[in-house]
Structure 1
Amino acid sequence: MPALQGSRTQPEARTSRRTAGGLTLHTWQHRTPQAPPVVLVHGFGSSTQYNWVKTGWIAPLMGTQRSVLCVDLPGHGDSGDVDPRGLRSEDLTAELADQLDDLGPVELHGYSLGSRLCWELAAARPELISTLVMGGAPATDRIGALDAQQARRWYRTGELPTHEMTRAVIPTAAALPGQHVPHAVELLLSLAEEPYAPSASVPGSPTLVVAGEQDRIAADAAELTDLLRGAGTVSEFVSVPDRNHVNVLTSQVYKRSVVEFLSR
């Protein structure tokens, strides 16, 4: 398989800034952009650095003649110092929408928890989004059943949750170095306060749904494609062979699928 365009080149240096709402935006500005910018939103317990930079996404996306803007969510990455307690999805999507207003329609790509926010933003503000990519995205609300008391006890004392879903999800907040674990957990618990129902509001932007073949978290991701098509939205689904929820991010199949989707 030939290399992705731009995958062997050094991407432009990034600039970073903090928004009033606690997002940190990292921008790689293409010198001569020929297409809308790509906006990337990471998953729970991750960051721009670990979700997108170290996995090799910046250069191939810039190879499509686009600038790239990555978002660090409150409690994560360079926004790790932001206490997210009390935040809701609509707070984050409204803050991100404010930042995108001056950019014109963008290509929006979310991964895991980030895909949930991107789905809601694309549905609420369709004029801001030209295409949507949903990576590692479950079609059901996996975080609504978390046991908040056990989650907080874990980050305060190290005691593993006995609640199955909480034990499976929450400790991943400590998987990467430099993470502000309490703030990362509190963001997830805050978002879990409100239900996530993709069928309630379906985006109209052309959408690519991608999941690893072995991804148990996003095992039902193809159902999003059915929702989109049922609403009349152009959509595609790609299953990446032999990849799970973590290592799918380094997949050339995943990257190539996104690059081809953006290039149509």
Structure 2
Amino acid sequence: MTIDPQFFEARDGVRLAWRETGEGRPVVLLHGLFSSGEVNWIKFGTAARIAAEGYRVIMPDLRVHGSSDAPHDAQHYPPDVLVRDVEDLVAHLGLVDFDLGGFSLGARTSVRAVVAGMKPRRLILGGMGLAGLAGWQRRGAFFRRAIAEYETAKRGDDTWLSIQFMKTMKVDRIAAGHLLESFTDTPPEALAALTMPVLVVCGEQDQDNGSAEELVAVLADARLATIPGTHMSSVTEPALGEAIAAFLTA
């Protein structure tokens, strides 16, 4: 399924893209780092599975990703800039009652948006554990190293697979470096803002962002869905769409 992007301008004038499919109640889904709405949600059928349940699935490309712009000027990357972009998309589309979710970086951004005051009815956190929210600096250091080793890493190096994905996705390394600096941690006490029902969905071999079980344990109203796969492969699994659809229709 091919879905053409639509575009809008964020508050700082950067042109951002989104794709959507289906009709009904809106659910905004945010992709992972260096991915895109198309790869994360459309390519492997997740969006179609959710849309089949009567949902309007809205999938932005975060700045520096997919069809969205990737400016090089550091002024376009203030702290939590991706939260501002999601706020701008919600305002642009006039969304009032909607669900929100994401995978990995998209899950982190969804949490940051709720902490900042966004009030989706339900929240979906994919590929995320407690440490991935509170300890971004460790993960951030890894990705900064991946950018630095972009031309020199060898097969077998711990950054190799991430670099190959970056190359496949044609990631702009200058813009990506600025974006990594905009990410902020979410301490466990800030998670008290997550009062809505939450689905934590994570691959059975995925520990990239810490323990999903620990994350569920600290949230007020959360449930865990374990699906096949690693952090990289779980987004390709039909079980991801099944888990999200089951949560939204429960």
Tell whether the structures are fold-level matches, with TM greater than 0.5. Answer: yes
Q: Is the 8 A contact 2:126 2:202 kept in 1?
A: yes
State the AA in 2 paired with 1:43.
Answer: G
- Paired position in structure 2 for 1:260: 246
Match of 1:69 among 35, 38, 58: 58
Tell me the distance in 1 between the aligned counterparts of 2:29 and 2:144: 31
State how many pairs are aligned: 238
- Paired position in structure 1 for 2:190: 200
Match of 2:100 among 93, 101, 108: 108
Structure 2 vs 1, CA of residues 148 and 76 (structure 1 numbering), >3 Å: closer, same or farther?
A: closer
Following TM superposition, by how much is the alpha carbon of 1:58 offset from its aligned partner in structure 2, in angstroms? Answer: 2.1
- TM-score, normalisation: structure 1: 0.77
Consecutive unaligned residues of structure 1, counting only runs of 5 or more, are: 1-9
Consecutive unaligned residues of structure 2, counting only runs of 5 or more, are: none
Tell me the distance in 2 between the aligned counterparts of 1:186 and 1:138: 24
Tell me the distance in 1 between the aligned counterparts of 2:147 and 2:238: 37
Match runs of 1:134-145 below 5 Å: 134-140=125-131, 141-145=134-138
Match runs of 1:89-128 below 5 Å: 89-101=79-91, 102-127=94-119
Q: Is the 8 A contact 1:27 1:67 kept in 2?
A: no
Q: Deviations over 1:104-127 (max 9, x none)?
A: 121111100111010111232243
Following TM superposition, by how much is the alpha carbon of 1:204 offset from its aligned partner in structure 2, in angstroms? Answer: 1.3
Tell me the distance in 2 between the aligned counterparts of 1:80 and 1:61: 27
- TM-score, normalisation: structure 2: 0.81
Q: Deviations over 1:143-170 (max 9, x none)?
A: 3131787555334xx2349xx98x4796
Following TM superposition, by how much is the alpha carbon of 1:198 offset from its aligned partner in structure 2, in angstroms? Answer: 4.1
- Paired position in structure 2 for 1:50: 39
Structure 2 vs 1, CA of residues 84 and 201 (structure 1 numbering), >3 Å: closer, same or farther?
A: farther
Deviates more, 1:168-177 or 1:13-22: 168-177
Structure 2 vs 1, CA of residues 234 and 153 (structure 1 numbering), >3 Å: closer, same or farther?
A: closer
Matched, 1:153 2:148: yes
- Paired position in structure 2 for 1:238: 225
Q: Deviations over 1:123-149 (max 9, x none)?
A: 32243x011000001311453131787
Tell me the distance in 2 between the aligned counterparts of 1:189 and 1:118: 18
Q: Is the 8 A contact 2:30 2:60 kept in 1?
A: yes
Tell me the distance in 1 between the aligned counterparts of 2:234 and 2:204: 9
Q: Is the 8 A contact 2:46 2:240 kept in 1?
A: no
| SS of residue in 1 equivalent to 2:17 | strand
Q: Is the 8 A contact 2:127 2:202 kept in 1?
A: yes
- Paired position in structure 2 for 1:211: 202
- Paired position in structure 2 for 1:18: 8
Structure 2 vs 1, CA of residues 174 and 201 (structure 1 numbering), >3 Å: closer, same or farther?
A: same
Tell me the distance in 2 between the aligned counterparts of 1:178 and 1:65: 33
Structure 2 vs 1, CA of residues 54 and 116 (structure 1 numbering), >3 Å: closer, same or farther?
A: same
Tell me the distance in 1 between the aligned counterparts of 2:217 and 2:15: 32
